[in-house]
Amino acid sequence: MSEFKSWLSFWDFWRTTIQKNRYVWPKEVEEFLQTVLSTSKGRDITISAGKNLWRAQLGNDTQPYYQDDIYIDDIPAPYRSERMKPLKGEAKEGRANPKGIPYLYLATQRDTALAEVRPWIGALVSVGQFKIMRDLKIIQCTGTEDQHLFYFEEPDAEQREKAVWCDIDRAFSRPVSMSDSTADYVPTQILAELFRSEGFDGIAYHSALGEGFNIAIFDIDAANIINCFLYKLKEINFNFKEVANAYFVEMPLLQDRCHGKKTAIVTENDILWF
């Protein structure tokens, strides 16, 4: 059985394909991709025909509103069914698809699909339910641990494999931004084409913006829309967690009623006077 050389093998692959060799790969990249395929055995799942998934698009159509047969105004309406699928030959760069080759990005939950388009407060979002038309063989990254694995020394082969697949999942899960360089998509696009060439119909990976999972389907005709709704974002809730030690360029001076000015170190929960 093939083994990854390092728990950092994905990032070595990432740097090489972005910074050095985009289309003609050195031996190390070829070996990495073959190890990905070798360790993908047992990670495939089947999404059965008839399963419903969700897809969201920022924006909306309009429809005329009449009162007593008198036209009043145009009112918001969900996008038409043809607008809810990517246009063949006109697809933008995506985390899995290259420009001009559309994939169908779906989610297992409605709210996950809504969050993935990252709407602003007051934005209108069309969200449709899609029916899977045939059984789909999916490679799943979602079985890995939902965290970043870190080692100071090389772990054993099993732990290296967990770390690499966790990094693959995180790379696909990273939200797409308008400020992204399209070069950032190259490693995951290579992996997507690798899986497609091996007979997979799509990729499942964690969502960084919702509780459900995302599924990128290679054949956009493998799912058809069955209904569509229009939502408006009412609020956004942020929940922050400190993940590193703070530092102070200059210790703050705080006024104390009894002792005058004293130097203090401010922590998350306390003020330590000295």
Give the per-residue pLDDT at 21: 85
Q: The whole model's pTM is what?
A: 0.82
Average confidence (pLDDT) per 10 residues, the chain, 274 residues: 88 92 90 94 93 96 90 92 87 89 95 92 96 96 68 89 92 72 84 96 90 93 96 87 80 54 53 47
Question: In the chain, what are the domain boundaries?
Answer: 9-232
Q: How far apart are CA 176 and CA 181, in angstroms?
A: 10
Give the per-residue pLDDT at 258: 52
Question: Left if phi > 0, otherwise alpha if psi is -120 to 50, otherwise beta: which for 28?
Answer: alpha
Give the per-residue pLDDT at 260: 54
Give the per-residue pLDDT at 241: 83
Give the per-residue pLDDT at 270: 54
Residue reference for tokens 């699909």: 113
Per 3-state DSSP, the chain is made up of helix, strand and coil in percentages (nearest 5) of 25, 30, 45
Nearest CA among 161, 187, 150, 194 for reference residue 172: 187
Residue reference for tokens 């990032």: 11
Give the per-residue pLDDT at 96: 93
H-assigned helices in the chain: 9-19, 27-39, 110-116, 157-173, 186-197
Give the per-residue pLDDT at 35: 96
